[in-house]
Amino acid sequence: MAPGELLHAPSFSLFEAMSAIEIGDPRMDASLAALTSPTAGDLIDSGKVPAQLVDTTLLSILDKQMILEMTWQQGHSLAQTVFTCIYMLRPDRASSMPLLAACCRSSFATCEQVKEFVMSAGICQDEDFQPFCYGLLLDWGRKGQYPAALAALTAAEDEVKASGTTKCLMQALHHLWHPSANAVGTAKRLLQNAAQSLDALGQEVPAGRPDDFVVPGFHPDVNRRLLAPQPPRKVPVLGWKAACQELSRMLADLQAACAVSIVTSLAQLKTFLMAYAGRCMQAYAKREAGALARSVLHWLLRTSAYIVDAPKPATAPSSKAGLSGRGLEPRAGKALPPWVPQPRMLAAAVGLPPDGPTISPEVDMFVEQAVIAVQGWCQGMCLNRARQRRRHRHALPDWAHLYQHALNADLSQGFMDWQTGAGWQWPHPTTDAPDQDLQGPLATWVERETALIMLQHLLLGFELELYQRYELCMIYWYCDYLIGVGLQACKKMGAGIQAAANGRGGVASKPARSNAKPKRSEANDSRRLDLMLESQEMEVERELCQGMLRLCAGLSIAGALPSRPAPFNDEEHLFDQRFSRFNHCARPEPLLHHQYAESADPTGVSAAALFQMAKDNFLCAKRAANFIGRMAAHSKEDLQALDRVATQNTVALMLMSKVLADGKLEHVVTWDFSVHCCYPVLGLKKH
């Protein structure tokens, strides 16, 4: 080949060409750089790793090691951060310095704990965390060495105050690895103590040790020979202040994850995960929790954290052995904590008795599959934002499969008999009824949950800044439809529970034993209240979606909304790109582009009329938010944000109506998503 020519073959494309190594160039040939990189033995022989250190230098090593641990948790390589410390590679070099030896033991232990959590939880990707050790063994951090590391930290606590933070964190992670209600409570107290210890240290740079202070015993390229052939990316090591801030945030995120122990129902679990993921709690909207905190949260929600393999029975297992006959049993014979998705939680969520005889095999199968679906949703909520949106999209076929199980359960004779005996007022299907009439309370619940997952998928696009301004009409239009589906399902389910509470059941298939009304159930009362609050919250968001839809349509007519660039995808192709994944589900019924085109056709409607209708929607949203804000304390912060959006957009619409000239808006429209991540506040400014 002559210079300037490019080889192309089925096995050598542009990607391979861009990734090719230029032999002899130190910027491209990692092996060449590895030949010139010193080893741990070379650094020790050269006297750069002293066996005795003065107190000031020793403390600087401890601070540097903490900085490198926090840098590692930002998604960088272990070989380029924590193990650039020669004392970690050669622990015997620190044997004559008990304080440094304790620091090394604690680093080994905490690194092993963090790695175990992240690998076991299975919710972190390469952009979140790098678990590879490149052959570097965390020998001192193995489970058998935890007591030794804890004892070393206890002995060093009097000399170095920072060791108190590390000790409390290590103990908290140890308790969370074997979770229970008491263990989670103990871990939360330890994390609070760690945060208080860190606050006591302050975030000032230690005197005489600035951020760029050269600390002995470290070399950034000491493990270069262990890395991949391509040149590694440069690691931006945190400074002292930044490391302290990251550690403080990590402790706060872990404490927030431990708050899952107060959850006792599926409704509370959904509210908690939505808040933790940043969908409701605006404090988390600008920064999602770190990889360790999200891994700990998912570990607390996983059934495998509380279950051990049971010994194989000598005879064939019973259909009720363990959980779903899988040979798994809770540790020490204890039941799963109430916050873990399990059959009892799902049964209570759909109105079935948590305990009692089997209603029908179809109902048991539905509950089992519903637990799996909810566990998958919980895992998705623990992912980072981009992965979370992708997971919700790919989980829709599973919910479509669950809908078929729900229909089978609704149509089973055992469930219909139980439903009548319980007093549920739900129309029984007939043989010639359309498919919508076949849907009972279980299928209605699945339809509502599927609609809410679709809604999450769409709203996450706002947080990830995926939408152009000319797409907002169709996005808010589909969101309005999905919220309407969820709202209708909540009302139907609430009416059925109310009928059961009032004793207004349908015609029973068997003679009634007594004319007395059934006793009120606290579980039904709580579920009816949850459905009522959820319906009110949906009303607020639906009014906002309708308001934003009409506002965007009015701006389009007034010439203030950017048009779709030509000759790229037309509106129909764009609609399919955004919503084609929803076609996997029979319920909610997927919408097509022609339905949107007919519904959002602005023919014969002026911009001023659309602005007035949008203003009415925002006023209704404001009234509904104020009403429910006095009842739902768990979502008060989000409701306040929605109230601000409705209020400020009402004012903006009044100004737009005044400055309209011949149906056109000459001012520039600004979009501010800082108040709420999904519903912008609009403003006007002159050109």
Token code pair at residue 294? 């999200």
Residue 312 — pLDDT band, cuts 50, 70, 90? very low
- Is residue 384 classed as helix, strand or coil in its secondary structure? coil
Q: Mean per-residue pLDDT for 414-428?
A: 79
Find the helix or strand (DSSP H, E) in which 685 lies.
strand 681-685
CB contact at 8 A, 349 and 266? yes
HSE-CB at 224 with a 13 A cutoff on CA atoms is 22
pLDDT at 311 over 50: no
Q: Judging by DSSP bridges, how do beta strands 307-309 and 681-685 pair with one another?
A: unpaired
β-pairing verdict for 307-309 and 328-330: antiparallel
- For the record, the structure tokens of 376 come out as 């998958």
pLDDT of residue 308: 52
The pLDDT value given to residue 226: 79
Number of helices and strands (H, E) in the chain? 25, 4
127 burial class (0-12, 13-18, 19+ CB within 10 angstroms)? exposed
pLDDT digits (tens, 9 = 90+) for 559-598: 888 888 776 778 899 999 999 999 988 889 999 999 999 9
CB of 579 within 8 A of CB of 590? yes
Instruction: Give CA–CA dist 134/461, Å, rounded.
Output: 37
Single pTM value for the model: 0.84
Angle between helices 636-659 and 522-557 in degrees, nearest 10: 20
- Start-to-end CA distance of the chain, whole Å, equals 57
Burial class (CB in 10 A: 0-12, 13-18, 19+), 671: exposed
- At residue 259 the predicted structure's pLDDT band, cuts being 50, 70 and 90, is very high
The model's pLDDT over 63-98, given as tens digits with 9 standing for 90+, comes to 899 999 999 999 888 888 999 999 988 888 888 888
Q: Residues 272-310, buried b or exposed e (16+ Cβ, 10 A)?
A: bbbbbbbbbbbebbeebbbbbbbbbbbbbbbbebbbeee
Distance CA 247, CA 198 (A): 8
Percent of the chain with pLDDT over 90: 37
- Give the pLDDT mean for 492-499: 71
> Residue 320: pLDDT band by 50, 70, 90 thresholds?
very low
**Within 10 A of 250 (CB to CB), how many other CB atoms are there?**
22
Q: Tens of pLDDT along 197-213?
A: 888 776 555 554 545 55
User: Given a cut of 60, is residue 527 above it in pLDDT?
Assistant: yes
How many residues comprise the chain? Answer: 687
How many Å apart are CA 610 and CA 547, to the nearest integer? 9
Phi and psi for 410 in degrees, rounded to 5?
A: -60, -35
Residue type, 117: F
Question: What confidence score (pLDDT) does residue 29 get?
Answer: 63
pLDDT for 229: 60
Structure confidence at residue 323 as a pLDDT band (50, 70, 90): very low
